[in-house]
Amino acid sequence: MSTRASAGPGAELSNEQKSRAAVRGAFAGFFVDMFDVYLPVVALAPAVAYFQATDVSATTASVIAAMIFVATLLGRPVGAAVFGHLGDKIGRRRTAIISVAGFGVVTLLLAMMPGYQQIGLTAVVLMIVLRFIDGVFLGGEYTAASPLAMEYSPKQKRGLNGAIIMTGFPLAYCAISLLTLLTLQIAPAGDLDSPYVQWGWRIPFVFGALLAFAFVFYYARYVPESDVWEKSERSSSPLRDLLRGQNLRSFMQVFLMMTGVWLTLFMVSAVLPEVLKSAVGLSDGKVTTAVLLASAAAVGGYLAAGVLSQRYGRRPMFIGFGIVSATIGAVVYAIVVSLGENQFGLVIPLVIVINVLVLSCWGIVTTYVNERFHTGVRASGFGLGYTLAVIIPSFYAFYQTGLSAFMAKEYTPVVLLVIGGALMSLGAALGPESRDVDIRDD
């Protein structure tokens, strides 16, 4: 094993310059990642008729719509396993480049998809399959780029740097919302033959693919390989090492906590926009506006959480966020559900409150999960610990259907939000504090 850093992009830079390049690269990669994940939620929503099966029940149509979104999330654990292994074996940088190039190509293919009227149910199946493949490649981006950035980050800056990377999510949501609003002005949505439904929705997908290719160029040219990884001892089988001993115990604890984190996320980012339309009665434009403003506010919440976790610790912050989500967050969510369209002025601040209270915990996720694993299995541990936990929450539509037998469907997200918050707090309480872990010396 060679311990000499290889010559390549950034070889002549100082550690501080390498750290900045790595954090910028991880942020850009996560931005592109989340932009792609939420394309169906935001950009495809006004054009849902293009892929909608007209000869199925409303319940089946709702499940199909959920599966188009969930398919990407289910592909991510597969990608995390494959690319996490590669990240620990062949390097973080090369793995990130391969994975982002892959989902750039798939997103471009999605932009050229025919609809239900052209090829029937095959269009729906193809969309779900391509979104799953997209998810596999997406699972590789953060699995490689985020550990690389954390390994270059000084201990005292990890909280802030991890939060900066994670702001790629709300900023991507803002970007895709703005792009969708702009596209709707150029190509209005309406019935099946309207411009947006026929071709306008493709514009955000093409834009997403171009963003991915731009990231590949930047990362290949400016971001160096992790010096911590280059100097570390390679495991012959990172996945095998991850699933035994202390690594397995760390993984199970992270899995439990992240299951709660993902469940609370889905109730806000995936379910709440639909609730605002179906229960509150808001138009697509008003929903997009509310989501846009709430996502912008969440950026501040992410950064604040990252900074506070550096001062007070990651563990107590996650425990606190779980409790707040299950109590205050759930109450505010229930209030929003009870409002009407004529109370739009009240809906916006309440939706902002929900986003900040429930989603700010994501500002700590990248830092904490990377700190829980040593260098030899960090990409695998971070990728799978972060992503495998998405599987159970991804079937939220089925849980809502089950709960709706006992209560009004629009209030089922409140119950799931309480469960998610409880799992987050419990998972965090079972783990140690990680703020003082020295990644560069492990």
Question: How far is the CA of 2 from the CAs of 6, 7, 208, in angstroms?
Answer: 9, 13, 38
* Max CA separation in the chain (angstroms): 67
pTM over 0.95? The answer is no
**16-30, 48-62, 306-320, 428-442: least confident range:** 48-62
Cβ–Cβ under 8 Å, residues 84 and 383: yes
Instruction: Give counts: helices (H), strands (E), the chain.
Output: 23, 0
What single string gives the DSSP state of each residue in 175-212?
A: HHHHHHHHHHHHS---STTSHIIIIITHHHHHHHHHHH
Question: What would the mean pLDDT of 222-246 be, rounded to a whole number?
Answer: 83
> Where are the alpha helices (H) located in 225-271, listed in sequence order?
227-231, 238-242, 245-266
pLDDT at 420: 98
pLDDT at 6: 46
CA pair distance 194, 109, nearest whole angstrom: 22
Question: How far is the CA of 362 from the CAs of 301, 314, 391, 408, in angstroms?
Answer: 9, 11, 18, 29
**209-213, 215-219, 342-346: least confident range:** 342-346
Per the prediction, the chain carries an average pLDDT of 88
pLDDT at 261: 97
Half-sphere exposure of 347 toward its Cβ, with a 13 Å CA cutoff?
A: 25
**60-74, 79-93, 187-201, 370-384: least confident range:** 60-74
pLDDT at 98: 93
What single string gives the DSSP state of each residue in 406-429?
A: TS-GGGHHHHHHHHHHHHHHHHHH
* pLDDT greater than 70 at residue 58: no
Burial annotation 186-202 (CB, 10 A radius, 16+ → b, else e): ebebeeeebbbbbebbb
* pLDDT greater than 80 at residue 294: yes
CA pair distance 147, 165, nearest whole angstrom: 11
pLDDT at 427: 97
Of 163, 125, 143, 33, nearest to 89 by C-alpha is 143
Which of the four pLDDT bands, split at 50, 70 and 90, describes residue 222? confident
Q: Three-state SS across 317-337?
A: HHHHHHHHHHHHHHHHHHHHH
Determine whether 438 is exposed, middle or buried from the number of CB atoms within 10 Å of its CB (0-12, 13-18, 19+): exposed
Q: What share of the chain is helix, strand, coil (3-state, %, to 5)?
A: 80, 0, 20
Which of the four pLDDT bands, split at 50, 70 and 90, describes residue 441? low
Q: What phi and psi values does residue 190 have, to the nearest 5 degrees? A: -175, -125
Question: What would the mean pLDDT of 179-205 be, rounded to a whole number?
Answer: 89
Cβ–Cβ under 8 Å, residues 410 and 308: no
CA pair distance 264, 70, nearest whole angstrom: 15
Q: Residue 248: count other Cβ atoms within 10 Å of its Cβ.
A: 13
pLDDT at 265: 94
Of 283, 100, 307, nearest to 209 by C-alpha is 100
Which of the four pLDDT bands, split at 50, 70 and 90, describes residue 258? very high
pLDDT at 224: 86
Cβ–Cβ under 8 Å, residues 380 and 85: yes
CA pair distance 158, 146, nearest whole angstrom: 11
Mind listing the domains of the chain with CATH numbers? 15-224+237-431 (1.20.1250.20)
Question: What would the mean pLDDT of 124-142 be, rounded to a whole number?
Answer: 88
Burial annotation 418-436 (CB, 10 A radius, 16+ → b, else e): bbbbbbbbbbbeebeebbe
**40-44, 56-60, 329-333, 345-349: least confident range:** 56-60
Of 437, 434, 130, 169, nearest to 296 by C-alpha is 169
Both structure tokens of 277: 């339309």
Question: How far is the CA of 96 from the CAs of 20, 21, 27, in angstroms?
Answer: 17, 14, 12
